[in-house]
Structure formats: C-alpha cells, structure tokens
Amino acid sequence: NAGVTQTPKFRVLKTGQSMTLLCAQDMNHEYMYWYRQDPGMGLRLIHYSVGEGTTAKGEVPDGYNVSRLKKQNFLLGLESAAPSQTSVYFCASRRRQVWEQYFGPGTRLTVT
C-alpha cells in the first residue's frame, strides 16, 4: 500500500494564480483532512470530509475550496493565491471508529 500520497511535492505560485493539490489514499478510509502547517502554529485544519461527496469547513477555510468526488481522493483548491497561503500542506485520512490519522508527506507551497 502506498498509504497517503500528495501531488505535487513543491510548487511556487504568483499572487492571483490558482492551483489544485491532490491527496490520494488507498486504505479505503472514510475521513480525510487538509491541514496547513506554519512555523510555531502547529497544524490547523482547513477542510475535512467524512465521506464521498461531503465536505465541511475547518478552522481556517477562507481562500480554499475542496472536493471529494471519489472516496480515495480529496482535492484542495486555491482560486486566487495570496502570499499568506505560503505554507506546508498536509493531507490525512482515517477509518471511521479508528481514531489515529495517517498523513501524507506534504506539499510545500510558496506564493510570491
């Protein structure tokens, strides 16, 4: 099993550009999460999904959109990137009633 994979690993955007981050898991997990990690801030939840076709806002959802059209994929979109969105983005997943999360390797995004 590949576990949780994230594409791309690195990306540089100019302010105002858009992009989509892809998270894929092959463990048949119901729950999926997108976090951002900033120095001294820990992990903050952006959006999450409890199943295919459902998404919900987390702690810091502004400027991001998500979609979960297939159970194994969770997409994070930035419609108009801002320098404040420079961060490392982590995707995670877990099985219902099994509480630990499995994390991807992260995507380092820089917005100039």
Residues lying near other proteins in the complex (CB under 8 A):
4, 33, 35, 40-45, 48, 50, 56, 58, 90, 92, 99-101, 103-106
Amino acid at 34: W
Select 87 or 101, whichever has its Cβ closest to other proteins.
Answer: 101
Q: Among positive and negative, which fits the CA dihedral 38, 49, 81, 19? A: positive
Q: Find the shortest distance in angstroms from Cβ 56 to other proteins.
A: 6
Q: Find the shortest distance in angstroms from Cβ 33 to other proteins.
A: 8
Torsion-angle region of 97 (φ positive above 0: left; ψ -120 to 50: alpha; else: beta): left
Count other C-beta atoms under 10 Å from residue 79's C-beta: 12
Select 14 or 42, whichever has its Cβ closest to other proteins.
Answer: 42
